Chains A and B, each alone.
Chain A
Amino acid sequence: MIRVEDVWRTYRMGDHELHALRAIDEEIADGEHVAIMGPSGSGKSTLLNILGCLDSPTRGRYFLDGDDVAQLSDAALAEIRLRRIGFIFQSFHLIARLSALENVALPLVFGGVPPAERRTRAAAALEAVGLADRATHRPSELSGGQKQRVAIARATIMGPRLLLADEPTGNLDSRSGAQVLDVLASLHREGRTLVVVTHDPAVARRADRVIVLRDGAIAKRVAGADVTDLVRLFDFGNGPA
Chain B
Amino acid sequence: MNPSDVVRLAARSLATNRRRSLLSLLGVVIGVVAVTSLTAIGEGALRYVDDQFASLGSSLVVIAPGRNETTGGMPMGVGGMPNDLTLDDARHLARRIPSVRHAIPIAASSGRIRHGGRNRQVPIIGTTAEFEGLQRLELATGSFLPPGDPSRGSAVVVLGQTVARELFDQANPLGETVRIGGWRMRVIGVLAERGTQLGLQVDETVFSPVATVMQLANKSSLTRVMLDLRPRADQRRVIEQVKSILIERHDEEDFTCISQDAVMSSLSSILRILTLSVAGIAAISLAVAGIGIMNVMLVAVSERTDEVGLMKAVGASRRQILALFLVESALLSVAGGAVGLALGTALVAFGRALYPAVELVTPTWAIGAVLGLSLATGLVFGVLPAWRAARLDPVESLRGR
Contacts and interface: CB of A to CB of B under 8 A. Distances in A.
Contacts of A89: 310, 313, 398
B82 interface: no
A63 to B, nearest CB: 20
Contacts of B394: 49, 54-55
Interface string B285-327: 0000000000000000000001101111111111110000000
Contact of A82 (B5, B315, B319, B395): B315
Contacts of B398: 54, 89, 93
Interface stretch (B9-17, B137-145, B165-173, B357-365): B9-17
Given A55-B395, A93-B310, A95-B310, A78 B2 contact: no
Contacts of B12: 97-98
Interface in B14-53: 15-16
Interface residues of A, number: 29
A81 B398 CA distance: 15
Contacts of A61: none
A112 B319 contact: no
A10 B147 CA distance: 106
A81 B319 contact: no
B317 A78 contact: yes
Contacts of B310: 89, 93, 95
A110 B9 CA distance: 11
Contact of A52 (B9, B13, B313, B401): B313
A110 B311 contact: yes
A128 interface: no
Interface in B346-401: 394-395, 398, 401
A49 B309 CA distance: 12
Nearest to A73: B317
A41 B1 CA distance: 37
Contacts of B314: 81-82, 87, 106-107, 110, 154-155
Contacts of A112: 1-2
A97 B310 CA distance: 14
A138 to B, nearest CB: 11
A55 B399 CA distance: 13
Interface in A80-131: 81-83, 87, 89, 91, 93, 95, 97-98, 106-107, 109-112, 114-115
A109 B1 contact: yes
A89 B398 CA distance: 9
A82 to B, nearest CB: 2
Nearest to A52: B313
Nearest to B313: A87
A164 to B, nearest CB: 9
A111 B313 contact: no
B9 to A, nearest CB: 7
Nearest to B16: A97
Contact of A54 (B5, B13, B313): B313
Nearest to A114: B2
A110 B320 contact: yes
A83 B315 contact: yes
Contact of B1 (A55, A95, A110): A110
Given A49-B395, A93-B306, A109-B1, A75 B313 contact: no
19 contacts: A54-B394, A54-B398, A74-B318, A75-B319, A78-B317, A78-B320, A82-B314, A82-B315, A87-B314, A91-B401, A93-B310, A95-B307, A95-B310, A106-B314, A109-B2, A112-B2, A115-B2, A115-B5, A158-B315
Interface of B: 1-2, 5, 9, 12-13, 15-16, 306-307, 309-320, 394-395, 398, 401
Interface of A: 49, 52, 54-55, 74-75, 78-79, 81-83, 87, 89, 91, 93, 95, 97-98, 106-107, 109-112, 114-115, 154-155, 158
